[in-house]
Amino acid sequence: MTISLWCILAALLAPYILSVLARSGVTKADYVQNPRAFNETLTGWHRRAHLAQLNAFETFPGFAAAVLVAHMTQVPQLQIDIVALAFILFRILHASFYITDKPNLRSLSWQMGMLCIVSLFVLAAIPQQI
């Protein structure tokens, strides 16, 4: 399996890791009884971790599709891997900046992650030499 395909797995797991962070230190019974209502009661960094989780869910489909399209159109593997790793790095930064309440850096890291997704589609659109 290629590095970029492992990055898809990392991006898939990220929201669940953020969910664990968001709920850390809270009573499990409160969460299990009504998780959606419970999430609305979160405050501070717990709430920001939950919001980062939602954003990670939102960006996953585009990233996974971009990596797979790049593979299908035979973009050089090294290019796909570099862009996919950059995406994962920017998503880690995004979550960190979200949780630590740094909105300008959070927005910049989100934009850079989206640029990685668009870059993969652009690379896929360029005819490759076989």
Element (H, E) at 13: helix 3-23
Side chain identity, residue 19? S
Cβ–Cβ under 8 Å, residues 60 and 109: no
pLDDT of residue 37: 78
Give just the sign of the alpha carbon dihedral 43, 48, 49, 50.
Answer: positive
pLDDT of residue 24: 84
Side chain identity, residue 34? N
Q: How many CB atoms lie within 10 A of CB 37?
A: 10
Q: How many CB atoms lie within 10 A of CB 120?
A: 27
pLDDT of residue 29: 61
Tokens of 96: 């960190």
18-27 residue pLDDT tens: 999 998 877 6
- Could you say which of 1.20.120.550, 1.10.150.20, 1.10.1740.10, 3.40.50.2300 is the CATH number of the domain covering 3-125? 1.20.120.550
pLDDT of residue 33: 72
Q: Per-residue confidence of the chain (130 residues) as pLDDT tens digits?
A: 999 999 999 999 999 999 999 988 776 666 667 777 778 888 899 999 999 999 999 999 999 999 999 999 999 999 999 999 999 999 999 999 999 999 999 999 999 999 999 999 999 999 876 5
Provide the residue ranges of all domains of the chain, joining segments of one domain with +: 3-125
Which ranges in the chain belong to alpha helices (H)? 3-23, 28-33, 35-41, 44-72, 77-99, 103-125
pTM of the model: 0.92
Q: How many CB atoms lie within 10 A of CB 88?
A: 20
